[in-house]
Amino acid sequence: MTATLIWILVVLVAIGVYLSWTAGRLDRLHVRMDAARAALDAQLLRRASVAQELATSGVLDPAASIVLYEAAHAARQAEEEHREVAESELSQALRAVFEDPAQVEAVRAAPGGEEAARELAEAVRRVPMARRFHNDAVGAARRLREHRKVRWFRLAGHAPFPLAFEMDDEPPAALVERAP
């Protein structure tokens, strides 16, 4: 009888350690996901800021400046539930403004334009990477949260279910092709 109680106690301790390890892993995934979201937010803000700065610099023609400024402003001011749409619209505005390689060359030829074009090219290249890192972290957390043991023992606590950030992040080809 004593041996049976010892084995039951050993099994319960092993289950407790395993569940604790799983909860710790889930917590680390949530921390990684939060860090990736912060990096994504920083890259999106940088892209919108550079686009807004370029739109107000006087380097672009007035119509392109207005389109780019409004899209960048909307992306910076968007509420969380409308952010993906606003960021996608900024991507579309960037592609519309910089679809013509001549427009990119005109920006580069203006005083300070080479630096502005390089900074914008860097910003639009970093957004897809940051989004991919964020969505990878979200996917890993979701896969773990879907396990029965996590749901049955409520190892995720009260953390909201992770959501991927889906947006159109294709950069303007004419801008990134010739970036130094």
Arithmetic mean of pLDDT over the chain: 93
Task: Read off the tokens for 36.
Answer: 């990736």
The confidence band for 178, taking pLDDT boundaries of 50, 70 and 90, is low
Residue found under tokens 């892209």:
47
Predicted local confidence at residue 177, as pLDDT: 73
- The C-alpha atoms of residue 43 and residue 23 are separated, in whole angstroms, by 30
CB-CB contact of 50 with 127 (8 Å): no
Predicted local confidence at residue 102, as pLDDT: 87
CB-CB contact of 88 with 168 (8 Å): yes
Tens digits of residue pLDDT in 89-130:
999 999 999 998 888 998 899 888 889 899 999 999 999 999
CB-CB contact of 2 with 93 (8 Å): no
Average pLDDT over residues 140-168: 93
Average pLDDT over residues 137-147: 95
- The C-alpha atoms of residue 37 and residue 28 are separated, in whole angstroms, by 14
Look at residues 169, 155, 166, 176 and name the one whose alpha carbon lies nearest to residue 22. Answer: 155
The pTM score is 0.90
Expressed in angstroms, the distance from the first to the final Cα of the chain is 76
